[in-house]
Amino acid sequence: MTVRQPTIFLDFSLAPTKTETPDGNGLPSREKVEQVLIEQALQPFLEEIQAQREKETEYLRHVEISLNELIHRQNLRMAELLESQQAGDSSPLLAAT
């Protein structure tokens, strides 16, 4: 048994009238079909999606660390400017920064 895309059925056409149909004795059971589908298609798809989500989560973790560091640096700079202002620095550029 192999898993195929459903588009395979697009090439089918209607059989002539009064065509004999094969009996269903040679077909696998529903449970077997579902088992093959899970093993060959759904499980690999799940693993692929999990890997993508883990990569995205790791990326977001790094973005968060970077943004927190930038915020921390700006807070330190603001504290330095505030100290300068409280120390009596009357530079006109101090108010502009």
Residue spans of the domains in the chain: they are 53-81
Q: Within 10 Å of residue 92's Cβ, how many Cβ atoms?
A: 6
> What is the average per-residue pLDDT within 44-71?
97
Q: Is the pLDDT of residue 70 over 90?
A: yes
Token pair 């120390």 is found at 87
> What is the average per-residue pLDDT within 21-50?
91
Q: Which of 33-37, 56-60, 71-75, 89-93 shows the lowest mean pLDDT across its residues?
A: 89-93
pTM: 0.59
How far apart (Å, rounded) are the C-alpha atoms in residues 94 and 80?
11
How far apart (Å, rounded) are the C-alpha atoms in residues 72 and 63?
14
Q: Which residue has the higher pLDDT, 48 or 22?
A: 48
* DSSP at 87: T
